[in-house]
Chains A and B, each alone.
Chain A
């Protein structure tokens, strides 16, 4: 064991850091894009009925194909990894944002308008806060999936914990597989805990059960 760590210890730490950065930057970008898109779509449900199914089909393309093809066009770059991960991470958040917004009681929106709120204020002060629990459960799902997908970065020479897993599988080294898998699982659990904490912090007290 100690021999293993002296051989791979530094590499494991670097891989964890790379993996973490990929996940956090992709999920953060996906979150912003998904919220904006979700708000726009909730104004145009007829568009949503077309766009959401198309995006969900896109979601079924295996990551290995997507990152492989993107690699051929965009090369061995951080941006290839982050773009691929972001695109995959958008959908669960977008879908939940849309569903959350559409489900807001129209009476409440009317009430807000009645108080003299502008459209933007209604979204910001009434609709989004009410949809928040659903949006956050989408965010949590995206985060967990992205931790898993980020292993694909190793395919295109961009490191991540996937590097340890692939090396382990190809060289018949079980310890190496676990050295990639365990930190990844812990990272997923840790990040989804963080998402819960953020949710608790931003959710208006009246909405907490």
Chain B
């Protein structure tokens, strides 16, 4: 008898919670725009901006779901499970489409080329450039800069054998050109050590002096916190990483009824955000001002209000 009861309870629980689970998988509503959140503040802030604007100017609701790694998020957009994500033309080219800056034909910009390829291969495309260029940049803490008199990446060549370089894992993969091995070859850098470290621990390692030189995203607020100085990419090794909203091309048709103006609403963000503004916003959420950290939502709201986009 007791077993039967236990079984019934289990069955009841299963039935009760199954809808909760399956609800996670349904993104086909034509009144909900779905975004999978990013792992970094920059993406989260942009996603909040999209939510605020779209919910203000259209009849859609925007659902921001749990974060996932960018390639994963991109796959969801391609599959139509998610509608858009914040991304970068350089990321789309190298990480998502597995192409390389050298594949870009002469006379065509990376942005135009990648858009053409993405639409053809995956039915995705980038909207207008937001204005940020979150490219990779080689950076070092102030005391290293002073000690070795560094200004450009080329300046590193002379002293590299005394310095430890470390960066996150994806900078070390062998495919693609904006990576560690091509970089040290291009600039002829013979670092004492070149180590892979988790991005979450990179800044601690720099603060504790374990790492002398690293690669960072230009718009990361943590650069300011760690007092990192960006070295000029004097021979233009790194491609641009222009921030832009990446959409599944079907969404405008899909939401035509509820949001005929969706594209215009999203394009309002085009050209609005400078690198400095983005650094300030990510700094406010990650590090905080006077110990008070802000949220991506608050930063997005403040920014849009200042620009007069949010009433």
A residues neighboring B (CB under 8 Å): 7-8, 68, 71-72, 75-76, 154-159, 163, 166-167, 169-173, 176
Q: How far is the CB of A115 from chain B (nearest CB, A)?
A: 52
Contacts of A71 in B (CB 8 A): 201, 204-205
- In this complex, which of B69, B174, B195 has the most chain A Cβ atoms within 10 angstroms of its Cβ? B174
In the complex, how many residues of chain B place their beta carbon closer than 8 angstroms to a beta carbon of chain A?
A: 24
A159 touches B196 (CB 8 A): yes
CB distance from B60 to the nearest CB of A (A): 29
- B residues in contact with A176, CB < 8 Å: 173
A-B contact pairs, 23 of them (CB 8 A): A7-B174, A68-B201, A71-B204, A75-B210, A76-B210, A155-B200, A155-B201, A156-B197, A157-B166, A157-B195, A157-B211, A159-B196, A166-B196, A166-B198, A167-B170, A167-B172, A167-B173, A171-B95, A171-B169, A171-B175, A171-B176, A172-B71, A173-B175
Bitwise, B175-190 to A at CB < 8 A (1) or not (0) is 1100000000000000
> Nearest-CB distance from A161 to chain B (Å)?
12
Check A166–B169 contact: CB distance below 8 A: yes
Q: Is B208 an interface residue (CB 8 A)?
A: yes
**Are B200 and A157 in contact, CB atoms less than 8 angstroms apart?**
no
B96 close to A (CB within 8 Å): yes
Residues of B within 8 A of A166 (CB): 169, 196, 198
How far is the CB of B91 from the nearest CB of chain A, in Å?
A: 10
Q: How far is the CA of A166 from the CA of B198 in the complex (A)?
A: 9
Interface residues of B in 137-173 (CB under 8 A from A): 166, 168-170, 172-173
Q: How many A-B residue pairs have CB under 8 A?
A: 70
A interface SS class: helix
Beyond A167-B170, A171-B170, 14 additional contacts (C-beta under 8 Å) are A71-B205, A75-B208, A76-B195, A76-B205, A154-B196, A155-B200, A157-B211, A166-B198, A167-B173, A167-B196, A170-B69, A171-B169, A171-B176, A176-B173
Residues of A contacting B210 with CB < 8 Å? Answer: 75-76, 157
Q: CB distance B169 to A72 under 8 Å?
A: no
Instruction: Evaluate contact between A170 and B196: CB separation under 8 angstroms.
Output: no
Contact (Cβ within 8 A) B196 A163: yes
Complex formed: what's the CA distance from A1 to B195 in Å? 26
Judge whether B173 and A171 touch: CB under 8 Å.
Answer: yes
Choose among B173, B195, B200 the residue with the greatest number of A CB atoms under 10 Å from its CB.
B173
